[in-house]
Amino acid sequence: MFTRSDYDAPLGYLDDCDIAKCILAHEASSWPPSRHRAGEAIFMAVELLREEPPPHLYRHDLESFMYTLIWCALHFNLNGSEVPGINEAMERWAYGTRESIQCAKISLFVSADRQDQIFRAITPAFHPLEREIGELIYMFDDGHSARGDRDKRLRRLRRDGEDQTPEPWNEDTLNGHITYEKFMAAIGENRVAELDG
């Protein structure tokens, strides 16, 4: 969400959108709450949708912000109105099991068709942010792909019985692919002032 300071400077903050779940009026909640699993799956990082999620990391918040930005770009007009309902491009993110929602979100990174579907659904008000949304998608794709490649190498080493120490790896940033600095570069720190114009 964005607001203005007393000095008219733009301020942004990320609300913890992973504390609720969309439930239709006739449905009962199927996901039991717990310290690590409560959440609105639409906005949750892919890894946190696992049956046994890893510890929460800062990069998960950045990924959540990306999903929130995509949601806003598909569902809001900046005149205070909303596009009714859940856009078809994100419907599979909103309903289903954690596993099916995780798969639907992963498809954003690996399927050009899914990315195109998202970009076609962006409301006119958010068209100026298409490049930034794309850069965020690519940044997270690069990080998840690097982890997948590393995990594949480690599985091969284990399978072949090789007793080799794996190369150093930074899990917090997926080996430097997802950092605050890269996130801010992807969204263009100066774009706030430019769009604010």
CA 127 – CA 155 distance, rounded (Å): 42
CB 166 within 8 A of CB 149: no
- Predicted pLDDT of residue 161: 84
| Average pLDDT of the residues in 109-132 | 95
CB distance 63 to 140 below 8 Å: yes
Banded pLDDT at 25 (limits 50, 70, 90): very low
Residue 68 has pLDDT above 70, yes or no: yes
Decide if 49 is inside a domain.
Answer: yes
| Per-residue pLDDT, 162 | 79
pLDDT surpasses 90 at 169? yes
pLDDT of residue 40: 84
Answer whether residue 147 shows pLDDT above 50: yes
Number of structural domains (the chain) is 1
* Pair 96, 76: CB distance under 8 Å: no
**Mean of pLDDT values over 49-59:** 94
Measure Cα distances from 97 to 21, 29, 93, 103, 104 in Å.
12, 11, 10, 10, 11
Averaged over 61-83, what is the pLDDT?
Answer: 93
pLDDT(35) > 50: no
Of 33, 65, 46, which Cα lies nearest the Cα of 147? 46
Helix, strand, coil: what percent of the chain each, to 5?
Answer: 55, 5, 40
- Residue 126: domain span: 14-196
